[in-house]
Amino acid sequence: MTKIVVAVKYVPDATANRTFSADNTVDREGVDGLLSELDEYAVEQALQVVENGEGEVVVLTVGPADAADAVRKALQMGADSGIHVEDDSIHGSDAFATSAVLAKAIEKVGDYDLVFFGMASTDAGMGVVPTLVAERLGLPAVTYANQVTVDGDTVKIVRDGDTATQEIEASGKLVVSVTDQTGEARYPSFKGIMAAKKKDVVEWSLADLGIDAGEVGLDNAWSKVESFTPRPPRTAGEIVTDEGDGGVKLVEFLASKKFV
Amino acid sequence: MTEVLVLIDAPDGKVTKPSLELLTIARRIGEPSAVVFGAADTGVLGEYGAEKIYQLDDAVYADYLVAPKAEALAQLVADKSPAAVLVPSSAEGKEIAARVALKSQSGLITDAVDVTVDGGTITTTQSVFAGNFTVDAQVTQGAPVIAVKPNSAAPEQVAGAGTVEAVSVAISDAAKTAKITSSSPKAASGRPELTEAAIVVSGGRGTGGDFSEVEAFADSLGAAVGASRAAVDSGWYPHTFQVGQTGKVVSPQLYVANGISGAIQHRAGMQTSKTIVAVNKDEEAPIFELVDFGVVGDLKTVLPQATEEVNKRKG
CATH of the domain at A175: 3.40.50.620
* Residue pLDDT, tens place only, A37-46: 999 999 999 9
The answer to whether A211 touches A92, Cβ cutoff 8 Å, is no
With CB atoms and an 8 Å threshold, state whether A167 touches B182: yes
In angstroms, the Cα distances linking B172 to A86, A139, B181 are 35, 13, 19
What per-residue confidence (pLDDT) applies to B1? Answer: 63
Cα gap B27→A220, rounded to integer Å: 30
Answer whether residue A134 is part of any domain: yes
With CB atoms and an 8 Å threshold, state whether B272 touches A231: yes
* Residue pLDDT, tens place only, A142-186: 999 999 999 989 999 999 887 789 999 999 999 999 999 999 999
What per-residue confidence (pLDDT) applies to B252? Answer: 94
- A-interface mutation test, from B280, B295, B298, most A Cβ less than 10 A away: B295
Q: Which residues does chain A have within 8 Å of residue B177's beta carbon, measured at their own beta carbons?
A: 139-140, 170-172, 174
Q: Which residues does chain A have within 8 Å of residue B136's beta carbon, measured at their own beta carbons?
A: 225-229
Average pLDDT of the segment spanning B124-146 = 94
In angstroms, the Cα distances linking B288 to A249, B45, B203, B229, B276 are 16, 42, 15, 18, 9
In this structure, the number of other CB atoms found within 10 A of the CB of residue B305 comes to: 21
Average pLDDT of the segment spanning A41-61 = 96
* Residue pLDDT, tens place only, A4-36: 999 999 999 988 889 999 999 999 888 899 999
The mean predicted confidence, pLDDT, of chain B is: 95
Return all residues near B111 (Cβ < 8 A) that are at least 6 apart. Answer: A125, A126, B89, B94, B126, B127, B147, B149, B249
With CB atoms and an 8 Å threshold, state whether B111 touches A38: no
With CB atoms and an 8 Å threshold, state whether A170 touches B290: no
With CB atoms and an 8 Å threshold, state whether A254 touches B181: no
What per-residue confidence (pLDDT) applies to A156? Answer: 97
How big is the CA angle at A226 (ends A222 and A229), to the nearest 5 degrees? Answer: 135
Answer whether residue A82 is part of any domain: yes
How near does any CA of chain A get to the CA of B56, in Å?
A: 21
Cα gap B280→B288, rounded to integer Å: 9
Answer whether residue A239 is part of any domain: no
With CB atoms and an 8 Å threshold, state whether A131 touches B272: no
Query: Which residues on adjacent β-strands are paired with residue B88?
Result: B148
With CB atoms and an 8 Å threshold, state whether A237 touches B193: no
What per-residue confidence (pLDDT) applies to A92? Answer: 95
What per-residue confidence (pLDDT) applies to B154? Answer: 93
With CB atoms and an 8 Å threshold, state whether A142 touches B306: no
With CB atoms and an 8 Å threshold, state whether A253 touches B298: no
Q: Angle of helix B299-314 relative to helix B212-221, nearest 10 degrees? A: 20
Nearest CA in chain A to B93: A128
How near does any CA of chain A get to the CA of B64, in Å?
A: 8
With CB atoms and an 8 Å threshold, state whether B135 touches A251: no
What per-residue confidence (pLDDT) applies to A29? Answer: 86
Q: Which residues does chain B have within 8 Å of residue A249's beta carbon, measured at their own beta carbons?
A: 295
With CB atoms and an 8 Å threshold, state whether B310 touches A180: no
Q: What is the pTM of this model?
A: 0.93
Region of residue A206 (phi > 0: left; psi between -120 and 50: alpha; otherwise: beta): alpha
Answer whether residue A63 is part of any domain: yes
In percent, the amount of chain B with pLDDT more than 70 equals 100
Q: Which residues does chain A have within 8 Å of residue B18's beta carbon, measured at their own beta carbons?
A: none
How near does any CA of chain A get to the CA of B43, in Å?
A: 22
Q: Which residues does chain A have within 8 Å of residue B186's beta carbon, measured at their own beta carbons?
A: 162-165
The beta-carbon neighbor of B98 closest among A19, A132, A170 is: A132
Return all residues near B165 (Cβ < 8 A) that are at least 6 apart. Answer: B52, B53, B54, B55
The beta-carbon neighbor of A144 closest among B70, B91, B108 is: B91
What per-residue confidence (pLDDT) applies to A162? Answer: 75
Closest among A88, A148, A94 to B138, alpha carbons compared: A94
* Residue pLDDT, tens place only, B281-315: 999 999 999 999 999 999 999 999 999 999 999 87
* Residue pLDDT, tens place only, B245-279: 888 999 999 999 999 999 988 999 999 999 999 99
The mean predicted confidence, pLDDT, of chain A is: 95
Q: What share of chain B is helix, strand, coil (3-state, %, to 5)?
A: 30, 30, 40
Answer whether residue A116 is part of any domain: yes
Cα gap A200→A223, rounded to integer Å: 36
Nearest CA in chain A to B195: A162
A54-58, A102-106, B185-189: least confidently modelled range: B185-189
Number of separate domains in chain A: 1
- The ipTM estimated for the assembled molecules is 0.94
The answer to whether A247 touches B303, Cβ cutoff 8 Å, is yes
What per-residue confidence (pLDDT) applies to A14? Answer: 87
Domain span at A179: 2-220
What per-residue confidence (pLDDT) applies to A71? Answer: 98
Answer whether residue A249 is part of any domain: no
Q: Which residues does chain A have within 8 Å of residue B95's beta carbon, measured at their own beta carbons?
A: 127-128, 131, 141, 143
Answer whether residue A158 is part of any domain: yes
The beta-carbon neighbor of A135 closest among B102, B178, B221 is: B102
What per-residue confidence (pLDDT) applies to B265? Answer: 87
With CB atoms and an 8 Å threshold, state whether A123 touches B129: yes
With CB atoms and an 8 Å threshold, state whether A141 touches B108: no
Average pLDDT of the segment spanning B163-177 = 96
With CB atoms and an 8 Å threshold, state whether A96 touches B135: no
Q: What share of chain A is helix, strand, coil (3-state, %, to 5)?
A: 30, 30, 35
The beta-carbon neighbor of A260 closest among B136, B240, B310 is: B310
Answer whether residue A55 is part of any domain: yes
How near does any CA of chain A get to the CA of B212, in Å?
A: 16
B275-280: strand order across its sheet:
A238-241, B293-296, B275-280, B254-258, B199-203, B224-227
- B-interface mutation test, from A24, A215, A242, most B Cβ less than 10 A away: A242
